[in-house]
């Protein structure tokens, strides 16, 4: 489930990274800065979230925590990395740890 406090944190962090003052961001969205404080206790409206995502040039999925990166394309991975992710799908935590250890071993063996 989506946590409104997490959404507020992502908005705040992304605005800071992009050097966009919160007052300016929310002003352009037609909202008040109190909107961010309210997000910590209640879910923002979908249209407000879409406007904020547009102003931050990110996806709504990122603000909701459904995408690992802010890029609108979902932060797609290279084909090789996607192949690794697909192969790891369904592994236990122990198997993932062993896989990471093996990849570290492979890197260490490079000439």
40 — pLDDT class (breaks 50, 70, 90): confident
Structure tokens at 40: 């910590």
Q: What is the pLDDT of residues 41-54, one digit of tens each?
A: 899 899 999 999 99
Answer whether residue 36 shows pLDDT above 80. yes
- What predicted TM-score, i.e. pTM, was given to this entire model? 0.64
As a whole number of angstroms, the distance between CA 59 and CA 56 comes to: 9
| Domain ranges within the chain, ordered by starting residue | 4-64, 79-108
Per-residue model confidence (pLDDT) at position 7: 93
Query: What does the angle CA 68 – CA 29 – CA 20 come to, to the nearest 5 degrees?
Result: 60
What is the architecture, at CATH level 2, of domain 4-64?
Orthogonal Bundle (1.10)
Per-residue model confidence (pLDDT) at position 91: 86
Q: What is the pLDDT of residues 56-100, one digit of tens each?
A: 999 998 999 888 878 776 556 677 777 888 888 888 889 989 999
């Amino acid at each position: 489930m989506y946590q409104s406090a997490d959404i507020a944190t992502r908005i705040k962090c992304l605005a800071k990274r992009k050097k966009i003052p919160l007052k300016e961001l929310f002003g352009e969205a037609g909202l008040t800065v109190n909107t961010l404080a309210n997000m910590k206790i209640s879910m923002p409206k979908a249209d407000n979230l879409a406007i904020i995502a547009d102003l931050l040039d990110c996806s709504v999925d990122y603000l909701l925590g459904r995408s690992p990166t802010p890029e609108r394309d979902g932060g797609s991975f290279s084909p090789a990395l996607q192949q690794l992710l697909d192969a790891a799908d369904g592994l236990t935590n122990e198997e993932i740890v062993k896989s990471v250890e093996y990849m570290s071993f492979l890197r260490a063996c490079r000439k």
